[in-house]
Amino acid sequence: MNGTLNKVILIGHLGDEVKMHYFDAQSCIGRFPLATNEVYINKSTGEKITSTEWHNIVVRNKAAELCEKYLSKGDKIYIEGRIKSRQWTAEDGTTKYTTEIQVTEFTFLNTKKDSDLSKAPTTNPPSSKDVDFDSLE
């Protein structure tokens, strides 16, 4: 294989609401933290340990609007994407760095809004199949 691959697959829970940023009438991004957990047993103490990793998630345009509409803090989502690192200069002159997951595919696994509507007829939650990602770039 001559090429390289930058692909991330995550299943986790939203750590906060989706924060939207609008640039013009046709483009926006949504950002939210995603928590993934690893649970293991400490062999020396027998204690159950949960380790949480936080990921900075970025979705664009129509996908961002779907996430804002349907997701709330605590909801579970499946995400595919790629890792993107960036840096910028803060107002105080310091250089800041961040690593983000740029979403290319997603599926809502459960949402609080679903449980609120549990008495209503069931519908499939939105997913990236509802979005044409090629038109988002």
Position 137 scores a pLDDT of 47
What is the per-residue DSSP string for the chain? --S----EEEEEEESSPPEEEEEETTEEEEEEEEEEEEEEE-TTT--EEEEEEEEEEEEEHHHHHHHHHH--TT-EEEEEEEEEEEEEE-TTS-EEEEEEEEEEEEEEEE-HHHHHTTTSPP-PPPBGGGS-GGGT-
Fold of 8-111: OB fold (Dihydrolipoamide Acetyltransferase, E2P) (2.40.50)
Q: What is the pLDDT of residues 86-105, one digit of tens each?
A: 999 999 999 999 999 999 99
Position 117 scores a pLDDT of 55
Q: What is the pLDDT of residues 23-74, one digit of tens each?
A: 987 899 999 999 999 999 999 999 999 999 999 999 999 999 999 999 999 9
pTM passes above 0.85: no
Q: What is the pLDDT of residues 102-128, one digit of tens each?
A: 999 999 998 776 665 554 444 555 666
Position 8 scores a pLDDT of 97
The residue extents of the domains of the chain are: 8-111
